[in-house]
Amino acid sequence: MKFIKLLIILLAVMTLNGCVLTKLITVPMRIGGAVISIIPVAGNTAHDAIDKAADQVDDINI
């Protein structure tokens, strides 16, 4: 019974590993970029840079 529980936990961790960990990092980045985008003149440039960085973090294979 312990082996089955361990196997299920291991499979869940392997499945959720990359997706969940990168989303924990990139969601606050994207929210910050959206807030920054309301600043006149430099807001959209900063938002685009943050969004590009968040896309690259999403592509990392963790």
Three-state SS sequence of 12-52: HHHHHHHHHHHHHHHHHHHHHHHHHCCCCCCHHHHHHHHHH
Domain of residue 35 covers 23-62
Q: Look at residue 26 in the predicted model and tell me its pLDDT.
A: 85
Asked if residue 36 is part of any domain, the answer here is yes
Q: Look at residue 40 in the predicted model and tell me its pLDDT.
A: 87
Asked if residue 6 is part of any domain, the answer here is no
Asked if residue 41 is part of any domain, the answer here is yes
When divided into structural domains, the chain yields a total of 1
Asked if residue 59 is part of any domain, the answer here is yes
Q: Look at residue 59 in the predicted model and tell me its pLDDT.
A: 80
Asked if residue 4 is part of any domain, the answer here is no
Q: Look at residue 17 in the predicted model and tell me its pLDDT.
A: 58
Asked if residue 2 is part of any domain, the answer here is no
CB 51 within 8 A of CB 33: yes
The residue type found at 29 is: M
Asked if residue 12 is part of any domain, the answer here is no
pTM over 0.85: no
The tokens for 7 are 């196997």
Alpha-carbon distance of 45 to 61, in angstroms, equals 27
Asked if residue 11 is part of any domain, the answer here is no
Residues with pLDDT less than 50, the chain: none
